[in-house]
Each structure stands twice: as C-alpha cells, then as structure tokens.
Structure 1
Amino acid sequence: MSRYPESVDVAIVGSGPTGAAYARILSERAPNATIAMFEVGPTVSSPPGSHVKNIEDVAARASAQERSEGPGAGAATVSSPGAVKAGDRMARPGTYLLDDGYAFDGEDGLPVVAFSSNVGGMGAHWTGACPRPGDSERIAFLPDLDELLDEADRLLGVTTDAFDGAPYTRLVRERLAAAVDDGRPAGRRVQRMPLAVHRRDDGRLVWSGSDIVFGDATRQHPNFTLFDESLVTRVLLEDGRAAGVTVRDLRNDRVHVVKARFVVVAADALRTPQVLWASGIRPLALGRMLNDQSQVVFAARIRDGVPASAPRHAPAGQSDEHDVVAGTLSEESGVTWVPFTDAAPFHGQIMQLDASPVPLAEDDPAEPGTIVGLGLFTAKDLQWDDRVEFSDDVTDFYGMPAMRIHYRLTDRDRAVLDRAREEIVRLGNAVGEPIDERPFTMPLGASLHYQGSVRMGEVDDGLSVCGPYSEVWSAPGVFVAGNGVIPTATACNPTLTSVALAARGARRIADELHATEFHERKLEHDSRRTR
C-alpha cells in the first residue's frame, strides 16, 4: 500500500527552511488544511530537519553529513585547510557536486556548485547568518518587506546576542567599525551578525534548521505529514492550474499521484526550476538570471588585543579535531557583520570560516580566537544568459532532466572583485596582522547562495517566473520558494530574505483556503435552505 495520501490541500516539494516556512504559516493560519511535504533525501537528524552541528557525537554527525550527500556520498570532502586552495574540486561535508555540466569552454561556470539531499536541506548544514538586505539588495516592489523580514526572524529564531560573551567579539567589532563606519547610516554600520542560533541555559548553542522553522505548530498539526526519500518528478496541472504531484517512493521505486489544490516547489535554486521543467512549466525566464556570490577570504592574527573578561562556553558540537581543522566558527571571536551598501558593494562576514583555505588555528594554539577569518561576498552583475538549462534526453542520478550551467563573470564583476580584494586586506590590517600575503578568491559556487533561477517580478513581462506572492505566472496554484525567487543582486546571505518571501506566499495560500472554505460552507448552507 502507498504511504502517501490520495489528496491534500497543499503539497510541498522540499523540506529546507522555505518549505518549512510554508508548512509553519499554513499550520498557524489554516489549521484545517491537509499538508504533505516530500523530501528526496533521508532523515538524518532528530528532530527531523535539525542542524547537524547540534549533534554532539562526532561519529553521528559525520554519518548525518554523509547521508545528506546523495550521489556524492563516500566522496572526499573539504575537511582540511588547503584543500580548496590547492584547486581540488571537493564539496563541503553534507553536500555533493555536479558530475558534469557545471562549466563550458569560454565560460567561468560554477565549478563547485553544490546540493544537499536530506530532511532540512541545506538548512541542516548552513552557517546560520541572517543579515538583512540593504540598498539595491532590497526588493523595491514589496511594500511589506520589513514586516516580512521580521516574520522570517521569528520563524528562523534569529538572535544577535549568542556570542556576546566571546572574549574577542567586541574588540574585533570595534576595530572594524573604526575602519568602516564613517559616513554610513546607522543601520549599515559594523554590528553583530544576526544569526539563527540561540544559547541554552547550560551555555551550549542550538543552531536553527528546518526543525526550528517547523516549530510546535507544524509538528503538532494533525494534518501535516513529512515523507522522506520521496522524489517528486512532476507537478500536475488541470486546465493550466495546480492539481497535484507525481512522486516516486525511493524505498520501493513505486510511482504515485497525490492530488493537491496548491503545490509549493521549494527544492533549491537549481532543482526547483528542474521540477518545473520536467512538469512542462517552462516560462522564458525559467533558470535565467542565475547568480552566485563571489567570495574572497583572508585571515589576520590579533596580536596586541586584550580579550574581554568573560566566561567561555563549550561549543555545541564543535569541540572535536575535525571542526577545528575545518575552521568552523570560533566561540572566542564571534561573528561580526559589515553590511553591504551600494557605495561599498560587499557583504562582510567576519568569523572563523567553514572550509577555509587558510590555516586559521593550527599556527597559534596558545590563544584560541586570535586568528580571525574575514570573508567578503560580492553581488553579481545580473545577466539574462547566466542560466541553468535542462536536457530532454539526458537524466541525472535521480532520473530528472540533467542540468547544464552557463555562467560568466562580466567586466563589472571582475572590477568589484578587485575592489573586494583590496578592501579585505584593509580590513585584515584593521583587525590585526594578516597571516597571508594576499586574499584567496573561492571557486565560483562556493557561496552556496545561488539565486534568481525562478525570480519574482512585479508584473508578468517575461523576465520573471513568479509574481509578488511567489505564484508562478503561467501556472496558478503553483508556488516557488527558496533563494531562486530573489530577483535582486544580493551580496548578503539570502536565507532570511527567502524565508520572508515564503511567508508572503504561504499567507496568500492560507487566504485562498479560507475563501474556498467559506464559499463551500455558504453553498452547503444555501443547499440546506432550498431543501
């Protein structure tokens, strides 16, 4: 027998933070709705969708990461400094790379474009940074953007004080502020990085994943069910409108149809357009305006700083040798944010960087936290021809249309990158003593912040896939979610914005469900009166 229902009100494809946001908002606003969520990967953490960094056992965490790597499971990952710097094409733990189709002759491509296949998606592996967009990063045609960002803060459990006790965090922030803040408006000055993390009473950190977004409202919702190891191969339409999904149960390879009044495709910025393409939903803008954030990294040693007197907490799930070598977030230096502005078009994330190409800890073991990693992200010069295409003849590991990525840096992109390299050296000198002669530019795709492939538009002018509520222009009832919906060029981490846009779409579905429920009740009432 099928483990899937015959029909639901809403089918959600993908269990990352944005898919979870749809489930949460619908659970709160449409409690009578039936919701089925489908995830191609397995459940790797408890509760389902939680961040793997919350798994304290080292071996268990490594197993969860490997089980998230889909077709790449068992391959070597970036687990030591120098691996990326040496030019090896390796994924980070918990992710996997495209085998081919990531670059073509005469193009830059996205050589380390990566995916995760697990309940919680990339939200089980991310750094948790949740800065707000500013200046040209903002979506000008959304009048309620700030309220939506507030809602995303709530859903993700964003805080700014989790690292206030870190001995070097104030020192790092003050030195950067002295170098950056002059002439900036108050909201775009150097500040604490908003993070999807909170600290328990016992001092340990809890990183937000989809489990935090789901919340009790979703977990306790009697009409919500999450199905793992379930590949949605197609969105079904009737008379041009959403009618359900075709799903393949990867446990037994059987195919089933689940009818639905609304379908939300929240796979990721590359697999969401893949599902639409496989479904015959192929607007001109599908896969177009694909953009990544180029990333420059550097490191500096704090030589003459005196750490603040503060208690040191044991890092949750980060005290083992693997995490120290990989350069994960330091409890001593915390995370500082240098916001993007149009005048200074970089987003700065000052922390111990995951998978850093620079040895951040091994040369100074006597004073943890004195090696500070700096990262600057740059916004892409958006181009119509930067795109992901799909094959009608060749399939990938999952049997879905194979991807082909076409991507080039423009002269403007290269000029901004040159500015970023100069700026990060200046910031490194402001923090302390640089430990490398020059910054390192990460391979394209390393940010994991792919955007634009199912972009939102104010009007249906052929340049966007969906409208302001994330509903696909050409397929009413089909909604898209994730970083791919963001229509602007951003340098800041996109998850907060993506969850904000998901909240807007989920509210629209809840309103339509209420309207339909009211109409059905009225018809039933009128029918009884005529009898």
Structure 2
Amino acid sequence: MTRNDVDVLIVGSGPIGSTFARTISDLAPTLRILMVEGGPQITDPPGRHVKTLSDPAQLDQAQIASQGANSNKYEMRTPTANTAAEGGRPPVVARPGTYLLGGEEVEFTDDGMPAAAMSTNVGGMGAHWTCACPTLGDGERPDVLPRAEFDALFADAWRLLQVTQSAFESTSFGGAIRASLAQTLGDILPEGRGVQAMPLAVSVRDGNRYWTGTDIILDSIAERGHFELRAETLLLRVLHEDGNARGARLRDRRTGEEYEVSARVVVIAADSFRTPQLLFASGVRPPALGRYLNDHPQAIGLARVRDEMIPPEVRAHRVPGQLDGLSGVNWIPYSRDEFPYHVQVMQLDASPVPLDGLDEPVPGSLVGIGIFGCKELQADDRVAFDEHDLDADGLPVPRIHYTLTAADRATLEGMVRTIDKLAAGLGGLVAGRPPVILPSGSSLHYMGTTRMGATDDGTSVCDTNSAVWGTRNLYVGGNGVIPTPTAGNPTAASVALAIRSARHIVTELASRGSDTATAEHPALSDCR
C-alpha cells in the first residue's frame, strides 16, 4: 500500500493490534489500514510463533532480535531461591525473547515489579506467548459488559485464535495427571470448572502442533491490497486537535526519518506499559492513565510423577527440538468462591518458566505446577511518566510503582499450600525444590493501565468500545484495557474486547460517510 493517508492507523503488531486489523478488514475490505511496529520482523511469515521454528539457531536468532538493545542469549535459569537459606535471592533474569524494563539483571524485591518485561518485534508477545486461553470465571470477566455479550465475544476470540482443548488429546498419560488432580481436590470444584485440558491456541496439522502467532490472526489480509505492516517504525506521538485524533508522527528506526501519517482512526495496541507511554507522550492524559496496574501473583512448583502413572511406551528418549505429547498442558480453572486460583500443570518441556539443572529420568516424569491468583486492585499501583525523564527515543521512561497488600500476601501463602497439596497427589515435590513465589511481573500479564469503564468518572481511560475518554477517533487495546482482577491468562479476553472495538470502529466510519474508501460501506447495525 505504502501511503501516508489511511483510514485506520494501528500501533502495535501483537495479537491485539492484529485482531483490530483482521476484524476491520473482514468487515470493510476496502478500508486502508496501516500497522506500525517498533521492532524488527523476526520470522517469515511475519508474526509466526517461535515455537514453530524447528531450527535451534533460527529460534535463538528470533528471540535475541526481540530483546530490544539486549543482544545476549539468555541462559536458562530457574528462579529457585526465595529463602535466605539458599544464600539470598538471585537477580531476576528475563526469559528468552523478552527484556526487563530495569535492565539485563534486576534485584529480586518484594515490592515493585522487578520481573516486568517486554518484547519488541513483529508479532509482539504473540511470537512468544504460551497460547493458553482459559475461560474466565465469575469475578474475572469485565464487569462493565453484560455477561452474555462478553461470553459471545470470547467465543469469537477463541475462533480467531484457533483455540482447542484437544491439542494434546493423544498424550500418553495426561488423563492420569488430570485424574490425580481431581482426586486431590475432591468435589469442591463447581460444574463446568473441573480439572480439564488447557484451552490452547494451537492447530494440529498432520500430528504436529502449530502455535498461533499473529500470522494466524492476520491470515491473508495483506493480499487484499489495503493493508500494510511497517516494521521498525516508532510512534512518537498521536496528532490531535480540538479533541480529535487525526494521525501520528512516526520515525523510521532504520533511517531516522520522521514523517506524519493522517488517519481517520488511531488505535494504540502496544502493551500495558507502552500504550500509556505513547498516550502520555501525545498529551492525552486521562486521570487514570497508567493506574490500577495489575499482575497475577504467581508461584511455581515441580512434582515428580509416581512411577506407576507413567506408561511403558513413554520410557524413551525425547526427540530434540520437538514437544512430545506426554502429559500435555492441564488446567484447574479459577472459581472465585470454591477455588480462587488458576492452575496450569504441564510437562516440563512445555513450561514457559525455565527449570534447569534437573534430571528427568523418564520423559514426562516431571511436571511443572504454575499457579496464579487475583491481585487486589489499587489506584496507586501504576506506571508513571515524567516529561523530563526521556529514553533514547525521546519518549518518557516508564517508572513502575507497585506494592503487594496483606491480601495479596495471603493469596500467595494459599497458593504455596495448594502447590504442596497438588504435588503430593501426583507423587511429591522434587527433593530440595520447595514451591517458589515468583517476583512480581513474572506472569507477563500486565493489566489495568488503560482500563475500560462505563462512565468517564476518572477511574478509567476508555469507554466500553475502547475509545479514549476526551479524544475522539482514538482507541486503545490490549491487556491494559481489562478492568477486573483476573487469575487466568488474559490474552483471549483482550482479543474479545478488541473484536468489540473493531466492530464499533467500522460502524462509526461507515455511518459518517466520506469521499474515502469507507463511503462504500453503509452503516452497519450488526457488525458480527
């Protein structure tokens, strides 16, 4: 397309930005959509999930290219030390494909968010995520939308992400793992929220698993001729006047050239730190901007499965570079009143948290237990900015203020007890490895900084269509929009909210009419 006057400018190429692009293009194929991404293209096709790369050297290259200025290959480390008996806490180190806001190594602290991390690449976190898409329970769903409407949007998100619960249905002993978990918990779980396979954004092709990246979300919209993705292109600020967004000033990071793009609608779907950063840099500063920062309290444990649970056919060596179908990824859903945690129990080579230095005598005999809880929301938990504190790109530096409340610490204590209980049912914790409370930020699920609200009362940044209060034609997307505390992985919920917003944008543009491409589209009463 290569033009600088468009109908919709989307900032950020991750799952949420890609959802906006795909939904808008499907509904109105002639709308001109420009997507800009500050990072490089790391895969072909653009946005491919790195788990689909079978060449280890290609995987390393893609991950390192996503780490901003940090060109180090991270060593696989386990955050095992949370007691003084182990000689103090080790520094926090980012996972491969991400980089810490605080630098390459950050001190492990109780308050603050030492593990806060980002990726900068085409596809964003969609190139690195676990692809877990659990349904949300009571108390987790956005409370500003009717439940039936949100559930319908969530189902649409599942379809777009190609979510399935059968990606590991042929696992050798996944059923045995689930049966053990269910027996341990007894009958406390409500109907429909029992132990089950984790819903994953994965398609199974000829027996192989293809993990959903933004290549899957975008599909073939580039072939329609009205969509362009510009990598290594940085948004400097949104251009607006008289309360109307009209475009943006961009910088080509390869050449240093700065230029302006005019747009009828601007969507910022960077992430929960950079979306408020870009709004602040643009002078768009609702009172709640950056506030209500929310991350899951998280703990992990490692269990050694009882020998009798392991079928004879899996007693063989793994194939290097492949994710074998052994026990798979299993799930205990969050239930606010009965079981207020979200639990993932997965075979070791599927775990997103590196667990190094371990002897796994039989493939699948070690399983990771990851448990998440809900954070108590506080307005003072925030990412803050200062006009005079700028980074190398001239953008305000994100400074995080974050504390755990007494309720949060009680949640963490309950999570550790739950890991002990679940592990005992499976066969016991690995000797010398007690459950570990991870530093805040470890989940990579940052929410709330551009939260959605029903009214412009100073406690939200956008309305229920994700339109920013006080600036027309400007929308936000991503986990930052979620206004409620959640324990489950938030990506599918954010995709659901982005679908709703994208449908609204098409309706708005069509209803206005103009001499541009959107004049071909009558007002849409139902964009579904």
Say if 2:94 is the partner of 1:91. yes
Counterpart of 1:422 (choices 417, 435, 447) is: 417
* Change over 3 Å in CA distance of 1:240–1:334 after alignment to 2: same
Identity among equivalent positions (%) equals 45
Counterpart of 2:378 (choices 377, 383, 394) is: 383
**Is the deviation greater in 168-177 or in 395-404?**
395-404
CA distance in 1, matches of 2:129, 2:209: 14
- Please tell me whether the aligned partners of residues 79 and 436 of structure 2 are also in contact (alpha carbons under 8 angstroms): no
Say if 2:370 is the partner of 1:372. no
Counterpart of 1:304 (choices 297, 303, 307) is: 307
CA shift, 1:105, in A, is 13
CA shift, 1:108, in A, is 0.6
Q: 1:198 aligns to what?
A: 203
Counterpart of 2:114 (choices 111, 125, 128) is: 111
CA distance in 2, matches of 1:83, 1:467: 42
CA distance in 1, matches of 2:501, 2:17: 11
Aligned partner of residue 261 in structure 1, secondary structure: strand
- Please tell me whether the aligned partners of residues 315 and 363 of structure 2 are also in contact (alpha carbons under 8 angstroms): no
Counterpart of 2:190 (choices 166, 181, 185) is: 185
* Change over 3 Å in CA distance of 1:359–1:303 after alignment to 2: farther
Q: 1:319 aligns to what?
A: 320
Question: Superposition RMSD on alpha carbons, in Å?
Answer: 2.7
Q: 1:333 aligns to what?
A: 327
Q: 2:85 aligns to what?
A: none
CA shift, 1:312, in A, is 11
Counterpart of 1:62 (choices 40, 60, 63) is: 60
Q: 1:77 aligns to what?
A: 74
- Please tell me whether the aligned partners of residues 273 and 287 of structure 1 are also in contact (alpha carbons under 8 angstroms): yes
CA shift, 1:93, in A, is 0.6
Counterpart of 1:350 (choices 323, 345, 352) is: 345
CA shift, 1:319, in A, is 2.7
Counterpart of 2:490 (choices 480, 485, 494) is: 494
* Change over 3 Å in CA distance of 1:378–1:280 after alignment to 2: same
Which string of whole-angstrom CA distances, capped at 9 and with x for unpartnered residues, describes residues 157-211 of structure 1? 111101011112111111111223513222211111000112111x221111111
CA distance in 2, matches of 1:330, 1:411: 41
Which string of whole-angstrom CA distances, capped at 9 and with x for unpartnered residues, describes residues 288-323 of structure 1? 0001112110111112334458899999xx834xx9
CA shift, 1:438, in A, is 2.1
Q: 2:227 aligns to what?
A: 224
Q: 2:25 aligns to what?
A: 27
Query: 2:331 corresponds to which letter in structure 1?
Result: W
- Please tell me whether the aligned partners of residues 235 and 279 of structure 1 are also in contact (alpha carbons under 8 angstroms): yes
CA distance in 2, matches of 1:110, 1:468: 28
Q: 1:483 aligns to what?
A: 479
CA distance in 1, matches of 2:110, 2:420: 28
CA shift, 1:521, in A, is 10
Residues matched between the structures, number: 508
* Change over 3 Å in CA distance of 1:509–1:355 after alignment to 2: closer
CA distance in 2, matches of 1:160, 1:359: 28
Q: 1:326 aligns to what?
A: none
**Is the deviation greater in 8-17 or in 229-238?**
229-238
Q: What 5-or-longer segments of structure 1 have no aligned partner? A: 324-328, 525-531
CA distance in 1, matches of 2:518, 2:44: 43
- Please tell me whether the aligned partners of residues 50 and 120 of structure 1 are also in contact (alpha carbons under 8 angstroms): yes
**Which TM-score applies when normalising by structure 1?**
0.90
Q: 2:174 aligns to what?
A: 169
Aligned partner of residue 503 in structure 2, secondary structure: helix
CA shift, 1:101, in A, is 13
CA distance in 2, matches of 1:521, 1:434: 61
CA distance in 1, matches of 2:250, 2:69: 19
Aligned partner of residue 257 in structure 1, secondary structure: strand
5 Å-filtered alignment, 1:420-459, equals 420-436=415-431, 438-459=434-455
Aligned partner of residue 113 in structure 2, secondary structure: coil
- Please tell me whether the aligned partners of residues 299 and 371 of structure 1 are also in contact (alpha carbons under 8 angstroms): yes
Counterpart of 1:503 (choices 490, 493, 499) is: 499
CA shift, 1:80, in A, is 3.7
Aligned partner of residue 509 in structure 1, secondary structure: helix
Query: 2:10 corresponds to which letter in structure 1?
Result: I
Query: 2:510 corresponds to which letter in structure 1?
Result: H
Which string of whole-angstrom CA distances, capped at 9 and with x for unpartnered residues, describes residues 64-114 of structure 1? 00000002222x524144677752221111001123699999971110100
Q: 2:526 aligns to what?
A: none
Aligned partner of residue 418 in structure 1, secondary structure: helix
Which string of whole-angstrom CA distances, capped at 9 and with x for unpartnered residues, describes residues 342-365 of structure 1? 1222110111364546448x3233
CA distance in 2, matches of 1:102, 1:31: 46
Query: 1:305 corresponds to which letter in structure 2?
Result: E
Q: 2:12 aligns to what?
A: 14
CA distance in 1, matches of 2:317, 2:139: 39
CA distance in 2, matches of 1:460, 1:305: 59
- Please tell me whether the aligned partners of residues 286 and 461 of structure 2 are also in contact (alpha carbons under 8 angstroms): yes
Q: 1:409 aligns to what?
A: 404
Aligned partner of residue 71 in structure 1, secondary structure: coil
Q: 1:207 aligns to what?
A: 211
CA distance in 2, matches of 1:96, 1:471: 30
CA distance in 1, matches of 2:137, 2:465: 21
**Is the deviation greater in 84-93 or in 285-294?**
84-93
Aligned partner of residue 283 in structure 2, secondary structure: coil
CA distance in 2, matches of 1:312, 1:138: 42
Say if 2:286 is the partner of 1:288. no
Query: 2:74 corresponds to which letter in structure 1?
Result: T
* Change over 3 Å in CA distance of 1:459–1:308 after alignment to 2: farther
- Please tell me whether the aligned partners of residues 106 and 115 of structure 2 are also in contact (alpha carbons under 8 angstroms): no
* Change over 3 Å in CA distance of 1:518–1:231 after alignment to 2: closer
CA distance in 1, matches of 2:356, 2:254: 42
CA distance in 2, matches of 1:394, 1:286: 17
* Change over 3 Å in CA distance of 1:181–1:518 after alignment to 2: farther
Query: 1:172 corresponds to which letter in structure 2?
Result: I
Q: What 5-or-longer segments of structure 2 have no aligned partner? A: 83-88, 521-528
Query: 2:257 corresponds to which letter in structure 1?
Result: R
Aligned partner of residue 391 in structure 1, secondary structure: coil
- Please tell me whether the aligned partners of residues 72 and 97 of structure 1 are also in contact (alpha carbons under 8 angstroms): no
- Please tell me whether the aligned partners of residues 84 and 357 of structure 1 are also in contact (alpha carbons under 8 angstroms): no
**Is the deviation greater in 345-354 or in 260-269?**
345-354
- Please tell me whether the aligned partners of residues 103 and 406 of structure 1 are also in contact (alpha carbons under 8 angstroms): no
